[in-house]
Structure 1
Amino acid sequence: MEAALRLFKLSFLLSLILGNSGVIGSRTLPDLASGPGGKFPSPCNRIECPTYELVSSENGYEIRRYNTSVWISTEPIKDTSLVKASRNGFSQLFYYIHGKNDKSQTIEMTAPVITQVSPSDGPSSESNFTLSYYVPRKYQADPPPAKNVHVQRWDTRYVAVKQFDGYVSDDNAAKEAAELEESLKGTDWGKAIAKSRETGGVGFSSAYTVAQYNAPYELFFRVNEIWMSFQIDK
């Protein structure tokens, strides 16, 4: 356990260094891989990911319909930096899947790890960051509980998605989110996102979500996504 944690911390530190350099770890993304129910990001060929159906492929983004799913989430972390908050949240999730839970179960890694980004109340420049780990299907019905994390149960939802490569930084995450927001302006999808933010609910009140599919030590062909979740009135 201690050796694994040291490796994790070292690889995470490497990811921060490389991500800030903007040189290594940024190459053209490979094609999405075929999977049941839709087109999955290529890391999902070798690691379990939540399933979805591809509803529409627009200019620079996709609309997906995700099935019901269960996630383990941190409590909101207040910070001015997504990268710094992620460093904190990733450690909590790492301990959880390596047995620091009420059943002392070691659970397989999945993808993506997501970070919901929500503005703080009041004049503070800080945001609230909630990191979540997708629970493998065999544990979805009864994920082991643990201190300092909680279960998020997602109903079926729609998500507008924009992919980008390299390591996630505060600057590129905000830039990609702004570009997705601009692309959605005036569309029915954009209107549905705005309405869902107003009504709230798990995952809908966030300004955006950053999804990361690769381990920190994977230098090339990294896959990241910006998600904006919404519901459609029936």
Structure 2
Amino acid sequence: MERQRQRARMLMKVVTLLCLVVLCTAIESPQYAVVHSESDFEVRLYRDSTWMMSAPVRELSFEKSTLLGFHRLFQYIQGANLNYSRIAMTAPVVTSIVPGAGPLHSSAYFVGFYLPVKFQADPPIPLTELNLKPYAWDSHCVAVRKFSGFAKDEIVVREAEKLAVSLSRSPWANSTSDDSGYAYSIAQYNSPFQFIGRVNEIWVDIDVSGIDSCKSSAYLMSPGPKIISASPRHRASSISDAI
């Protein structure tokens, strides 16, 4: 019996890793504008958007939680929804950490991805057993630190600490926000089979009342080239209700 469980877990990992290859060709992500930039981080302003998020994954490992959460999301986009709709994958895959006493100062993880424009207004309803739910994310500001390589547990912690140090020395020192219920989020943009040029990011929400440049959405809405990326923040009564 134990051997069967191990084989099932291994199969799920292989299937999920193969599924993640689609991230290499993902073309849709929420739009943002950079409102502040320094050598080791930047602050972005995002539009409102709708995301599909997993129920809380209560594993100790960030890597394992991301794997489990994405496995549900992949089933959903492959047609495990009430409309039997196939949904194009977007990038990045985002794992948000709920503060707690775990190894990554976590109590749970939420895994999600941005819904394509086609489904923003009316997302297909996931099958109940997937434990997924669409969430509306408000326009907001987020501090971002990029890092390369694979997002392993120990690397994620180190990069989050570096972003915290950078923010403490910047005009945003007292502007981080915990309204979202997350300590921070990790974005992964690449297939696990891409070994060179990998891009990951640490995201920390910014309190928009702290800095004038992030108060208004006028800059984001103005004409001009748009940068493609993603970062979620939920409206009140969303994620916290699920914990």
Cα deviation for residue 84 of structure 1 reads 1.0
| Equivalent position of 1:219 in the other structure | 195
| Equivalent position of 2:157 in the other structure | 174
Determine which of 11, 32, 50 is the counterpart of 2:30: 50
Residues 141-220 of structure 1: pairs in structure 2 closer than 5 A: 141-146=121-126, 147=128, 148-193=131-176, 196-197=177-178, 200=179, 204-220=180-196
Provide the secondary structure at the position in 2 that maps to 1:110: coil
Q: Distance in 2 between matches of 1:157 and 1:102?
A: 31
Determine which of 188, 192, 208 is the counterpart of 1:232: 208
Provide TM-score, normalisation by structure 1.
Answer: 0.75
| Equivalent position of 2:93 in the other structure | 113
Tell me the amino acid that sits aligned with residue 9 of structure 1.
V
Cα-Cα RMSD: 2.3
Residues 8-23 of structure 1: pairs in structure 2 closer than 5 A: 9=14, 12=17
Structure 1 residues 109-130: Cα deviation after superposition (integer angstroms, max 9, x where no partner) = 100110001123xx66652100
Provide the secondary structure at the position in 2 that maps to 1:52: strand
Structure 2 CA distance for partners of 1:92 and 1:11, relative to 1, 3 Å: closer
| Equivalent position of 1:135 in the other structure | 115
Structure 1 residues 109-161: Cα deviation after superposition (integer angstroms, max 9, x where no partner) = 100110001123xx666521000111011110111111210111111110100
Q: How many residues align?
A: 192
List runs of 5+ in structure 2 lacking aligned partners.
Answer: 1-10, 210-214, 216-243
Cα contact 1:102–1:144 (8 A) shared by 2: yes
Extract structure 1 runs of 4+ deviating beyond 4 A. 43-46, 123-126
Cα deviation for residue 214 of structure 1 reads 1.0
| Equivalent position of 2:83 in the other structure | 103
Cα contact 1:11–1:217 (8 A) shared by 2: no
Provide TM-score, normalisation by structure 2.
Answer: 0.72
Structure 1 residues 180-221: Cα deviation after superposition (integer angstroms, max 9, x where no partner) = 01110154423221xx21xx2xxx221110001112222221
